[in-house]
């Protein structure tokens, strides 16, 4: 029977356990340059006991930015700072992938270069807000990407993948989930195009698959992951037939032998209906490779998911915020630190690198 604490591998890439760190936006990068903060080096180093760290979502261009203080991977200075992070993770015996991201319509003119409107698959505004220098504001009206703009964005993803290699990452995850740009092409609530990138499931999947093909020119397939949220409603998303849409996507990713599929099975705090669960389970059954499950997993659910072969690994989000040594705590059945939601986004060390390790907690109790 497979254990959550057992080693696993994808091709030639070995992981020391099946407790993965999910991508977590923490908004501590330099807002003018999109360079990760110095303190991020310590943050990721602390969490290197994860089987795999998947970094916070990282924009592949200035146009791909939707929130203040999120990091980028579109120039050499950003890559150099990421190299400092990958170096310390590797020194600690960890593995780390960067999540390549473009927010699409989930942005604001004040964040976009030269005050431009955000871009999307179509000019359909999201009923949601984003965090700007002036606080939470409604996202701005998007404009539909031209075909030339699509090709440029695909090239930006490829350049981001190249910079990740330069920065010493072990691989990359393509962010196709949670209502951001790739998701905006995949789902018909947002994609109203009538060209080669809209309409049929084949056309709506084209943008993602062309990105995957471009990244495959940089990385071996086992070093590429794709994250999807087929049934998620976050960021005002939806689809009339997610099972048909994402069955096609999974088939195509199988054909390309992508290293792993990472599904957001449920979003924290959101209800999941039986139809949604059935869709997710059908897609998992179709998938032929390494599968990472994410979505409100506690230790009991995680153990069961791995033992029952529902998943090969579990990506934990919030528990890793407050517990840098999460694998040790889970294996020992130790109490978990509770995360402080007030320090999730922005700020400095508080709520970022100051959560105690289990060994530190024991010293405090003994004192």
Region of residue 236 (left: phi > 0; alpha: psi -120 to 50; beta: else)? left
Alpha helices in 187-298 (DSSP H): 201-216, 242-255, 274-286
180 catalytic? Reply is yes
Closest C-alpha among 95, 86, 91 to residue 21: 95
User: Do 104 and 142 contact (CB within 8 A), yes or no?
Assistant: yes
Active site residue: 180, 260, 291, 355, which one? 180
For residue 195, give both structure tokens.
């060209």
- The per-residue b/e assignment along 180-210, b for 16 or more CB within 10 angstroms, e otherwise, is bbbbbbbbbbbbebeeebbeebebbbbbbbb
Three-class secondary structure of residue 312 per DSSP: coil
Name the residue with tokens 């789902």: 187
**What residues contact 86, with CB distance under 8 A and at least 6 apart?**
96, 167, 168, 169, 170
d(CA 19, CA 363): 26
Residue among 361, 314, 353 nearest 334 (CA): 361
Closest by CA to 277, choosing from 304, 302, 243, is 243
Catalytic residues: 180
């Amino acid at each position: 029977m497979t254990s959550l604490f057992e080693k696993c591998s994808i091709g030639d890439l070995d992981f020391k356990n099946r407790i993965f760190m999910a991508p977590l936006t923490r908004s501590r990068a330099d807002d003018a340059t999109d360079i990760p903060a110095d303190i991020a080096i310590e943050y990721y180093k602390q969490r290197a006991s994860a089987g795999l760290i998947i970094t916070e979502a990282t924009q592949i261009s200035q146009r791909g930015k939707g929130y203040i203080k999120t990091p980028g991977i579109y120039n050499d200075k950003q890559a150099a700072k990421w190299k400092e992070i990958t170096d310390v993770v590797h020194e600690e015996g960890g593995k780390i992938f960067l999540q390549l991201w473009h927010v699409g319509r989930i942005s604001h003119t004040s964040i976009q270069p030269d005050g431009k409107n955000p871009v999307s698959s179509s000019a359909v505004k999201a009923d949601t807000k984003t965090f700007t220098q002036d606080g939470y504001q409604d996202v701005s009206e998007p404009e539909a990407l031209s075909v030339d703009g699509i090709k440029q964005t695909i090239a930006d993803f490829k350049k981001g993948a190249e910079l990740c290699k330069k920065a010493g990452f072990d691989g990359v995850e393509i962010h196709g989930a949670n209502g951001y740009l790739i998701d905006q092409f995949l789902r018909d609530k947002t994609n109203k195009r009538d060209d080669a990138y809209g309409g049929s499931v084949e056309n709506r999947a084209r943008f993602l698959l062309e990105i995957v093909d471009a990244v495959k020119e940089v990385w071996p397939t086992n070093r590429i992951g794709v994250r999807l949220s087929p049934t998620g409603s976050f960021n005002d998303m939806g689809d009339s037939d997610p099972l048909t849409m994402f069955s096609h996507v999974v088939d195509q990713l199988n054909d390309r032998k992508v290293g792993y599929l990472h599904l957001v099975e449920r979003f924290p705090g959101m209800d999941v209906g039986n139809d949604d669960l059935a869709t997710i389970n059908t897609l998992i059954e179709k998938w032929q490779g390494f599968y990472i499950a994410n979505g409100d997993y506690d230790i009991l659910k995680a153990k069961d998911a791995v033992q029952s072969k529902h998943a090969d690994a579990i990506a934990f989000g919030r528990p890793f915020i407050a517990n840098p040594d999460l694998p040790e705590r889970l294996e020992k059945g130790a109490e978990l630190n509770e995360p402080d939601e007030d320090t999730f986004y922005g700020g400095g060390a508080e709520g970022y690198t100051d959560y105690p390790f289990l060994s530190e907690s024991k010293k405090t109790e003994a004192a």
